Structures are given as C-alpha cells and as structure tokens.
Amino acid sequence: MVVSDELKKFLHDLKTPLTSILGYVELLRTGRDKKTRDKFLDIIEFEGEKLLKMVDVYVHQEIEVSEKINCKKLISLLCREFSPASKKSQIDLSYECEDDLLVDFNEIALWRVLSNLIGNAIKYNRRGGYVRIKAYKDSGFVFVECEDNGIGIKKENFSNIFEKNFRENNNIIGSGYGLFNVKEILVKNGASISVESVVGKGSKFSIKLKGV
C-alpha cells in the first residue's frame, strides 16, 4: 500500500498525544490518591480531545486559521504532556516564559512544531540530561528555544536534518518526518528555524515567530 507524505506526517504527529495518554495510564496503574488520579484523567481527556481535533483537521482538510496564542500556556501544557516520557528517561524538563507572551499562529500547528522539537530533545538525550524551553520577545518577534545536552548533531548535517526521511542516528527508532514537518509548517506560516549543535554536548533549536 502506498502511503502519501501527508498521511505519514499526520500519523507521525499522532504519536505524541498517544504516547502521553499511555504514559499517564501507566502512572494511574501504580496507584495514586484521588486528587492525582483526577488530574491525570483530566490530562488524558485533554489529549483525547486534541487527537479528535487533529483528525478533524486532517479528514475535513480544514484551513489552519491563525489566532493569538499564549506561549506560556501552550508550553506548560506540552511540558505536562511530555512529563511521563521525560521522567521515564530521567530527563529534567523545564521551561521559562513570560505570562503575557503572545504569538500569531495556529494553535494545533504550533503544538505540532514544539512537540516535535521537545520529543526529539528527549529521545536524542541521555539519562540525567536536561531539556530547557525558553520563550522571549525581541524586536517584535517571539523566539522559542529548545535546548538539550544530548548526543548532538554533526555540523555537516545541519541542513539535512530538515529533509524528508533523513535521520541523524539510525540506531534510534524514528520516521524521519519530525523536523521535516517542523520546517514545512513554519515556512508555510512565515516563520523560521535555526539550529546550533555540538556532537556529544547537545543541540539548541530556535524558532522565530510573529509576535502580537
């Protein structure tokens, strides 16, 4: 069966909320107090609703309308989403962002971008490592940085990592669609991305968005 690139990208981005749901289900099985159980169930419900919204956008080919997005709210939700995965890998996941930092973007599209960056930062890291998300405004633009101290990327591959099916490390399972998705979404919405990395020391991806 021939699978289109659009379907491959869509299926790739479904993995993050599904992984989050399974992670919180696993945590629930370990036994928690009622307050914590209710919190985890709220998260699972939120992730399920997001999955349905993503499916609706894909199936009905809805136009991704730009809107004012609170960066801190979105980033905090993403860090919550990746909490089970980061704890399982013993990665310290943290973020820094002002309360009223707004960008003009589509929420699902920006979620896809940041979830790919955070997911990669955790996957290509080492136990005891860190992933730091920082968002700030400068000259009318909003910059969001995702920095880790993982395995890093070879300098000669800086441009290749955004190509379809390219994988820096073939020993780690991946589809090769994550960063390809990221760049395509950003360029389509008038945004950009850059990378700094040193092999064995880590990487920092920076995205530049239109501020509000």
- Domain of residue 94, CATH code: 3.30.565.10
Work out the average pLDDT over 53-77: 80
Instruction: Tell me the one-letter amino acid at 137.
Output: K
Count of domains for the chain: 1
Distance, in Å, from the CA atom of 75 to the CA atom of 133, rounded to the nearest integer, reads 8
* CA atoms of 164 and 176, how far apart (whole Å): 6
- Please say whether the dihedral angle defined by the alpha carbons of residues 176, 182, 183 and 184, taken in this order, is positive or negative: positive
**Domain that includes residue 117, residue range:** 5-210
pLDDT score recorded for residue 166: 64
Give the pLDDT confidence of 94-146 residue by residue, as tens digits: 999 999 999 999 888 899 899 999 999 999 999 999 999 999 999 999 999 99
Query: Measured at the alpha carbon of residue 94, what is the angle toward residues 89 and 98, in degrees to the nearest 5?
Result: 160
Strands 141-148 and 202-210: antiparallel
Alpha-carbon gap, residue 148 to 13, rounded angstroms: 21
105: enclosing H helix or E strand: strand 102-105
